[in-house]
């Protein structure tokens, strides 16, 4: 649009008030109230899109030296050990649900004919030796428990889970589902892992029956049931 045309559109003389230009038809100025309304709407939409207005909008945390998410996480109270770490029961439960509940079920009742129940099982409430043997190396073939046969295959977990995770899972199982047995220590898992390191085949029921039901692995320090180590929490 040329300057001459623009001048004629925006600066036509007002015959009623000589010397005062008027806007050309169709080019009336935008009302102030409409500008204010649009501004309020844009602000509201931005707040709603970001999850609502909260004190965090004005928090120095979001504008300080640790504004990046990874920096805030690195300097958070949890990362620095200022907050309570997960209990060994919480670590054990989470690991059990992730790795074991698919077969033994979240309630520990197992699957009839395939996977034996963990609830009130003599293998769970007995000595730790047979129990850790099964978890580390796996179990195959038919197993009879309280007159019922189960023929599911138990995989070996020695390569998939750390000593800390196995100890946490077994401690959780031995203290839940109606069971009442002592915690399993990391040292017991480490001892069994070393003792059975040369074995490459899963156990069968005859192997388990050859071990006394109350046989225990050497016990190291028992993990505090109210707090788990940071290693167990992260699986190191």
Predicted local confidence at residue 33, as pLDDT: 80
Predicted local confidence at residue 158, as pLDDT: 95
Tens digits of per-residue pLDDT, 168-184?
A: 999 999 999 999 999 99
Predicted local confidence at residue 220, as pLDDT: 67
Predicted local confidence at residue 223, as pLDDT: 47
Predicted local confidence at residue 217, as pLDDT: 95
Residues of the chain predicted below pLDDT 50 = 9, 54-64, 66-67, 69-70, 72-73, 78, 223-236
Residue ranges and CATH numbers for the domains of the chain are 3-74 (no CATH), 88-234 (1.10.760.10)
Predicted local confidence at residue 3, as pLDDT: 55
Predicted local confidence at residue 31, as pLDDT: 78
Predicted local confidence at residue 233, as pLDDT: 44
- Say what the pTM is: 0.60
Predicted local confidence at residue 148, as pLDDT: 95
| The three-state (H, E, C) secondary structure of the chain, written as one string | CCHHHHHHHHCEECCCCCCCEECCCCCCCCCHHHHHHHHHHHHHHHHHHCCCCCHHHHCHHHCCCCCCHHHHHHCCCCCCCCCCCCCHHHHHHHHHHHHCHHHHCCCCCCECCCECCCCCCHHHHCCHHHHHHHHHHCECCCEEECCEEECCCECCCCCCCCHHHHHHHHHHHHCCCCCCCCCCCHHHHHHHHHHCCCCCCCECHHHHHCCCCCCCCCCCCCCCCCCCCHHHHHCC
């Amino acid at each position: 649009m040329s300057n001459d045309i623009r001048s004629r559109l925006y600066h036509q003389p007002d015959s009623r008030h000589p010397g005062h230009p008027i806007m050309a038809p169709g080019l009336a100025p935008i009302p102030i109230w409409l500008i204010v309304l649009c501004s309020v709407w844009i602000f509201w939409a931005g707040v709603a899109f970001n999850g609502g207005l909260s004190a965090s909008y004005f928090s120095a945390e979001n504008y300080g030296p640790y504004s990046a998410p990874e920096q805030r996480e690195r300097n958070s109270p949890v990362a620095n050990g200022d907050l309570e770490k997960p209990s060994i029961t919480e670590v054990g439960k989470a690991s059990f649900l992730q790795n074991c509940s698919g077969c033994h079920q979240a309630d520990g009742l197992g699957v009839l004919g395939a996977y034996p129940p963990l609830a009130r099982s003599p293998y769970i409430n007995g000595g730790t030796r047979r129990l850790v043997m099964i978890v580390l190396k796996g179990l195959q073939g038919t197993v009879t428990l309280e007159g019922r046969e189960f023929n599911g295959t138990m995989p070996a977990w020695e390569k998939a889970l750390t000593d800390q995770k196995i100890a946490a899972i077994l401690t959780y199982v031995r203290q839940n589902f109606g069971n009442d047995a002592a915690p399993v220590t990391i040292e017991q898992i480490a001892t069994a892992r070393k003792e059975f390191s040369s074995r490459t085949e899963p156990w069968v029921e005859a192997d388990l029956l050859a071990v006394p039901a109350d046989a225990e692995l050497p016990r190291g320090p028992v993990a505090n049931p109210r707090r788990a180590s940071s290693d167990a929490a992260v699986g190191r």
